[in-house]
Protein backbone atom coordinates (compact mmCIF):
# COMPACT_ATOMS: atom_id res chain seq x y z
CA UNK A 1 0.00 0.00 0.00
CA UNK A 2 1.36 3.42 -0.89
CA UNK A 3 1.76 6.31 1.50
CA UNK A 4 -0.64 9.28 1.67
CA UNK A 5 0.05 12.25 -0.60
CA UNK A 6 -1.00 15.91 -0.17
CA UNK A 7 -3.92 15.21 -2.56
CA UNK A 8 -5.34 12.61 -0.14
CA UNK A 9 -7.71 13.43 2.70
CA UNK A 10 -5.98 12.06 5.80
CA UNK A 11 -8.30 11.87 8.80
CA UNK A 12 -7.22 11.11 12.36
CA UNK A 13 -8.99 11.68 15.69
CA UNK A 14 -7.21 15.06 15.89
CA UNK A 15 -8.14 16.46 12.45
CA UNK A 16 -7.74 16.19 8.69
CA UNK A 17 -4.87 17.03 6.35
CA UNK A 18 -5.61 17.96 2.75
CA UNK A 19 -3.57 19.90 0.18
CA UNK A 20 -1.15 21.11 2.84
CA UNK A 21 -3.90 22.43 5.08
CA UNK A 22 -4.87 21.14 8.55
CA UNK A 23 -8.65 21.09 8.92
CA UNK A 24 -10.60 20.42 12.13
CA UNK A 25 -13.05 17.51 11.93
CA UNK A 26 -14.95 15.09 14.12
CA UNK A 27 -15.34 11.33 13.84
CA UNK A 28 -17.88 8.83 15.14
CA UNK A 29 -18.94 8.63 18.79
CA UNK A 30 -17.58 5.05 18.79
CA UNK A 31 -14.09 6.22 17.82
CA UNK A 32 -12.14 4.45 15.09
CA UNK A 33 -12.69 0.79 14.28
CA UNK A 34 -11.00 -1.96 12.31
CA UNK A 35 -14.21 -4.03 12.67
CA UNK A 36 -17.02 -1.60 11.77
CA UNK A 37 -20.58 -2.77 12.51
CA UNK A 38 -23.94 -1.19 11.76
CA UNK A 39 -25.00 1.09 14.61
CA UNK A 40 -21.67 1.04 16.52
CA UNK A 41 -21.08 4.76 15.89
CA UNK A 42 -17.50 4.07 14.81
CA UNK A 43 -15.61 5.52 11.87
CA UNK A 44 -13.94 2.74 9.85
CA UNK A 45 -10.15 2.80 9.68
CA UNK A 46 -8.45 2.29 6.35
CA UNK A 47 -8.18 3.57 2.83
CA UNK A 48 -11.46 4.61 1.20
CA UNK A 49 -12.36 6.61 -1.90
CA UNK A 50 -14.71 9.51 -2.53
CA UNK A 51 -17.34 8.18 -4.93
CA UNK A 52 -19.85 11.00 -5.17
CA UNK A 53 -21.05 14.39 -4.01
CA UNK A 54 -24.63 15.31 -3.14
CA UNK A 55 -25.96 18.79 -2.31
CA UNK A 56 -29.21 20.55 -1.41
CA UNK A 57 -30.02 22.77 -4.43
CA UNK A 58 -32.50 24.79 -2.37
CA UNK A 59 -29.73 25.71 0.11
CA UNK A 60 -26.51 26.00 -1.89
CA UNK A 61 -25.05 25.98 -5.35
CA UNK A 62 -23.25 22.91 -6.64
CA UNK A 63 -19.73 23.07 -5.17
CA UNK A 64 -18.31 21.08 -8.11
CA UNK A 65 -19.44 20.21 -11.62
CA UNK A 66 -19.91 16.54 -10.66
CA UNK A 67 -22.17 17.23 -7.65
CA UNK A 68 -25.69 15.78 -7.84
CA UNK A 69 -28.76 17.37 -6.24
CA UNK A 70 -30.54 15.80 -3.26
CA UNK A 71 -34.25 15.52 -4.00
CA UNK A 72 -37.19 15.35 -1.58
CA UNK A 73 -37.48 11.55 -1.94
CA UNK A 74 -33.79 10.70 -1.62
CA UNK A 75 -32.90 8.22 1.14
CA UNK A 76 -30.00 5.94 2.08
CA UNK A 77 -30.70 2.36 3.16
CA UNK A 78 -29.23 1.36 6.54
CA UNK A 79 -31.38 -1.74 7.12
CA UNK A 80 -29.39 -4.99 7.10
CA UNK A 81 -32.48 -6.86 5.81
CA UNK A 82 -32.79 -4.56 2.78
CA UNK A 83 -31.52 -5.96 -0.55
CA UNK A 84 -30.42 -2.35 -1.23
CA UNK A 85 -28.43 -2.07 2.03
CA UNK A 86 -25.92 0.80 1.99
CA UNK A 87 -27.26 2.17 -1.29
CA UNK A 88 -29.24 5.26 -2.24
CA UNK A 89 -32.99 4.56 -2.43
CA UNK A 90 -36.15 6.59 -3.02
CA UNK A 91 -39.17 7.21 -0.79
CA UNK A 92 -41.41 5.53 -0.09
CA UNK A 93 -39.07 2.74 1.01
CA UNK A 94 -40.27 -0.15 3.18
CA UNK A 95 -36.92 -0.77 4.91
CA UNK A 96 -35.00 1.31 7.46
CA UNK A 97 -33.19 4.29 5.97
CA UNK A 98 -31.71 7.74 6.49
CA UNK A 99 -33.42 10.75 4.96
CA UNK A 100 -30.89 12.71 2.92
CA UNK A 101 -33.01 15.87 2.69
CA UNK A 102 -32.93 16.81 6.38
CA UNK A 103 -34.45 19.79 8.18
CA UNK A 104 -31.07 20.61 9.75
CA UNK A 105 -28.03 21.55 7.62
CA UNK A 106 -25.90 18.44 8.33
CA UNK A 107 -26.56 16.88 4.92
CA UNK A 108 -26.73 20.04 2.80
CA UNK A 109 -23.49 18.74 1.28
CA UNK A 110 -22.47 15.07 1.42
CA UNK A 111 -19.30 13.49 0.09
CA UNK A 112 -19.97 9.78 -0.44
CA UNK A 113 -17.36 7.13 0.31
CA UNK A 114 -16.93 3.59 -0.97
CA UNK A 115 -17.12 2.10 2.55
CA UNK A 116 -18.80 -1.33 2.36
CA UNK A 117 -19.92 -0.89 -1.22
CA UNK A 118 -20.13 -3.13 -4.28
CA UNK A 119 -21.21 -5.45 -2.87
CA UNK A 120 -22.30 -4.29 0.57
CA UNK A 121 -21.98 -6.78 3.41
CA UNK A 122 -25.11 -6.50 5.60
CA UNK A 123 -24.21 -5.35 9.10
CA UNK A 124 -20.74 -4.05 8.22
CA UNK A 125 -21.89 -0.42 8.34
CA UNK A 126 -23.60 2.00 6.02
CA UNK A 127 -23.72 5.66 5.07
CA UNK A 128 -20.14 6.62 5.89
CA UNK A 129 -20.21 10.18 4.57
CA UNK A 130 -18.27 13.39 4.93
CA UNK A 131 -20.73 16.11 5.93
CA UNK A 132 -21.18 19.24 8.08
CA UNK A 133 -20.81 18.95 11.83
CA UNK A 134 -23.37 19.97 14.46
CA UNK A 135 -20.67 21.86 16.33
CA UNK A 136 -16.95 21.44 17.07
CA UNK A 137 -16.23 18.34 19.12
CA UNK A 138 -19.72 16.82 18.71
CA UNK A 139 -19.25 13.29 17.32
CA UNK A 140 -21.09 11.71 14.40
CA UNK A 141 -22.73 8.30 14.05
CA UNK A 142 -19.62 7.08 12.18
CA UNK A 143 -19.13 9.69 9.49
CA UNK A 144 -16.44 12.37 9.31
CA UNK A 145 -17.82 15.89 9.79
CA UNK A 146 -16.40 19.36 9.22
CA UNK A 147 -17.36 23.00 9.68
CA UNK A 148 -19.44 23.98 6.64
CA UNK A 149 -16.85 26.44 5.20
CA UNK A 150 -14.15 23.77 5.43
CA UNK A 151 -16.39 21.13 3.83
CA UNK A 152 -17.17 23.52 0.96
CA UNK A 153 -13.45 24.23 0.53
CA UNK A 154 -12.71 20.50 0.36
CA UNK A 155 -15.62 19.84 -2.03
CA UNK A 156 -14.37 22.46 -4.48
CA UNK A 157 -10.99 20.72 -4.67
CA UNK A 158 -11.58 16.97 -4.61
CA UNK A 159 -12.44 14.72 -7.52
CA UNK A 160 -14.18 11.36 -7.71
CA UNK A 161 -11.67 8.76 -6.57
CA UNK A 162 -9.86 11.05 -4.13
CA UNK A 163 -8.41 8.82 -1.45
CA UNK A 164 -9.66 9.12 2.12
CA UNK A 165 -7.24 7.68 4.68
CA UNK A 166 -8.71 7.16 8.13
CA UNK A 167 -5.81 6.58 10.48
CA UNK A 168 -5.38 6.20 14.24
CA UNK A 169 -2.77 8.99 14.32
CA UNK A 170 -1.15 11.54 12.04
Tens of pLDDT along 114-162? 999 989 999 999 999 999 999 999 999 999 999 999 999 999 999 999 9
Q: Which pTM value belongs to this model? A: 0.96
According to DSSP, residue 14 is labeled T
Domains of the chain from N-terminus onward: 9-166 (2.40.440.10)
Please tell me the distance from the alpha carbon of residue 75 to that of residue 78, in angstroms, as a whole number.
9
**46, β-bridge pairs:** 166
Amino acid sequence: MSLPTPEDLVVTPTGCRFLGRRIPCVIGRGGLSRDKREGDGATPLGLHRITGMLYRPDRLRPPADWAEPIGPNDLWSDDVADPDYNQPVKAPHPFGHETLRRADPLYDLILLTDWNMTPATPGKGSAIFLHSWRRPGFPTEGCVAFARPDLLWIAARIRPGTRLWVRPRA
